[in-house]
Every structure is written in C-alpha cells, then in structure tokens.
Amino acid sequence: MKVNPGGIVAPSDALGRDALIKRLWKRLEKQGLILSAERRMGKTTILKKMAAEPKPGFRLIYHDLERCADTADFASRVTSDVDTCLTRGQSTKEALRNFWREIGGTEVGGVLRLPQSQSARWGDVLERGFALLSESLKSKPDEFTVLAWDEFPLMLKKIASREGATHAMDVLDRLRALRNSHPQIRLIFTGSIGLHHVISNLREQDYPNSPKNDMYTVEIPPLARKDAVELAKRLIQGEQLGDDPNDACAQAIADSVDCFAFYIHHLVDAMVDQDLAPTPETAHELVDVAIIDPVDRWELRNYRERLDSYYGALAGVASLTLDLIAEQQPVALEELLTKLRLRGTNRLNAAGRAMLEEGEDGLRKLLWRLLQDHYLLREADGGYRFRFEVIRRWWLLK
C-alpha cells in the first residue's frame, strides 16, 4: 500500500472498518444515521466503501454537499440522485422527468437544475423526488435506498446564513416528515462540523422541534490499535522503507498518533520524503516536528480556530478550559472551576465571566459541549482529559 495523506482512499484500502460498517448496515435496517467524528477520522472513506460494497438489499448514494448553499440547489441535487436510482423505462423515472419539464427544470451534464423562478418550490421538488423513489421500491419491500449526505450540517449553516434560519428549520422539518412517510428510504448525515452546533444556533432563534431524534448517532472512532499497526506496517512495506523488526516502528507510529489513519499516512510519507529508516525513534521525532510545523500539514490549527465559530462569545473560556486541562489531566469539575476563576479574571470577556458566575452548572454545560466536539473525554471517576494525546501535546505548544 502506498501513502496518500489527505487523499482519496480506495475502498479496498480502508483497513479496519469492516466491523463498524457491518454495525452501520445493521442499524440502517431500522433507522437513519448521524455519523459523528473528529475531522480526518475517515467518515467519507467509510461512506464511499459502503457505496462501492453495499450489503445485499441496500443501495447507498453518496453526495458531498459542501458546495451546496441554498434550498433550491439542495432539492436539485437530491432529485438528481433520485433520478440516478430510477431505471430507464420505469414509470417513476418518466414521471420524474415529466415533472421536471413541467416546472422548467434543466439538465446540464447529467445534473438537474431548478430554475430561479421555481426556487420557492424546493420543498415540493424534494417531496416529489422522495415519493417517486419510494414508489419504485414498493415492489421490493425488503430493499432500501440510502441517501448519504456529507457536509450536511455545513450546508444547513450556509442556508441559514443566505436564506434565513427559517429555511434551515424547514429543511430539517421536511426531512423528518419524509423519513416518517417513506420507510424504505434511509438518510445519513455527517460532516466536518457537528449537526448539534447548527441545531443549537437555530434554538437560539426559537426553533422548538427535535428534527433528529428518530435517527441514531454513531461515533466514528480512530482505528483499533491492531488495525492502526497493520496500516503503518503495510505503508512501510509498500514504500519499501526497509526492515521493521517485530513491527516496532509500526507500533510506535500507531501509538504516537492515537491510531489516526490520517496522521499515520503523514508520518510514513515524511519517512519516504526524507529517506528515513523505519525506527521507533524516527517515528517519535517526526511527531515532534509535525506538532510545531508552521506549514501545519496535519491541520492541527483547526482545533483552535474553530472555537470562535463553535462557541461564539464563550470561545475564550473554552480555550482557557482546554489550556488548563492540557497542563494537568485528569482534572475534576470542582478543581477546574477553581483554576478558571483564578486564571480567568483578566483574560475572559463578559460572557466568559458570566458563565463562571453560574458555578458548576455553567462549567458543566461547557464541558458537555467540549465532549461533543471530541476535545475531551470523561473518566469513570468524573475527571476530564483530552480525548487524544497528540492533540493535547500540540495544544500545550500552541
């Protein structure tokens, strides 16, 4: 296997995910999914492997919505995917094409486009597409079509910004209704930002509904250690870096980056680039270099930069909280609150100080958000620590 840091991983090269994918297919028999994970954890690779190697009775259509910024574009993209699912000659495909012509829709390069004059009908378009796809499945009651939408939360955020929060709310509510009405269609939501952030922002604008409580959230973890070691081993062999007695270097690579496949690829790539022998010492030295690299090939700055977007006025107190936990972990809630009050007097804005005045309740809410965003984990005794040691090391040096 060759290194490919940050690139598209072929389904056949997606090591260590078979058991997880089996769980996902099993769950999809019952309900839709929300895939939650840290960035660069391999969510897209997993979905593309599922699309390429579907379980019998399932068809998964993957769509990246990163560039989708309004409801009309979203409805057009979904309709294009539905059109792909329908077989030429089927009455449902003809019905979809007739409907598209009636509303003045166009097709460019095989992609359907809703005209600007009909953009307000995006909801009708979405509902018609789901209805026709559902009708096409009625003769096959044991089969499912899965629409897997990458960067769905980012698209919602753009819709709220461009068209208003009510449009984003409408998307969520319509999709909830469509899931209930069409049980042979399953949805998967995932993306680089958590859906909970988007919904939380909508709640601040009086959004009362629970648009995802019929879906099952699955956290995508790093590779299991044995799989991470196997990946490093195959990359070392594939790049012909030399002997690695007892897989010592492969083990050091896996352990030093918390079994992140993305970082494993980067470490072996650095060995190739610098013509270094595969030894544990080399692996550790390259990690030391990577976490202070101003080019930031590992994209570690994102952990700090996204705080402003995720936490708004509380970004400062969130950053200080992470500073304190990085310095000494695990730390109990009461001890952490005391440290924040001592260190935060002159560092925090009004929102941060107000949160500390709420005492343990205010801090507990912040820590819950940091847990959801994969910064922290909570130990059995209640102490908080960084979820990933490599991120903690970088945070201490930032």
Q: How far apart are CA 53 and CA 33, in angstroms?
A: 18
Q: How far apart are CA 176 and CA 213, in angstroms?
A: 9
Q: How far apart are CA 324 and CA 338, in angstroms?
A: 11
Give the confidence band of 8 by pLDDT, cuts at 50, 70, 90.
confident
**Interval 300-356: pLDDT, tens:** 999 999 999 999 999 999 999 999 999 999 999 999 999 999 999 889 999 999 999
Give the confidence band of 110 by pLDDT, cuts at 50, 70, 90.
confident
Cβ distance 26 to 288 under 8 Å? Answer: no
Examine the pLDDT at 89 and tell me if it is beyond 90. Answer: no
- Provide the CA 57 distance to its chain's centre, in angstroms: 26
Domain definitions of the chain by residue range: 17-219, 225-290, 302-397
- Asked, colleague to colleague, whether 17-219 and 302-397 share their fold, the answer is no
CATH number corresponding to 302-397: 1.10.10.10
Pick the closest to residue 272 from 8, 3, 13, 5 (CA basis): 3
Examine the pLDDT at 398 and tell me if it is beyond 90. Answer: no
CATH of 17-219, one of 1.10.760.10, 3.40.190.10, 3.40.50.1370, 3.40.50.300: 3.40.50.300
Q: What is the pLDDT of residue 83?
A: 94
Examine the pLDDT at 387 and tell me if it is beyond 90. Answer: yes
- 92-108: b or e for each residue (b if 16 or more CB lie within 10 Å)? bbebbeebbeeeebeee
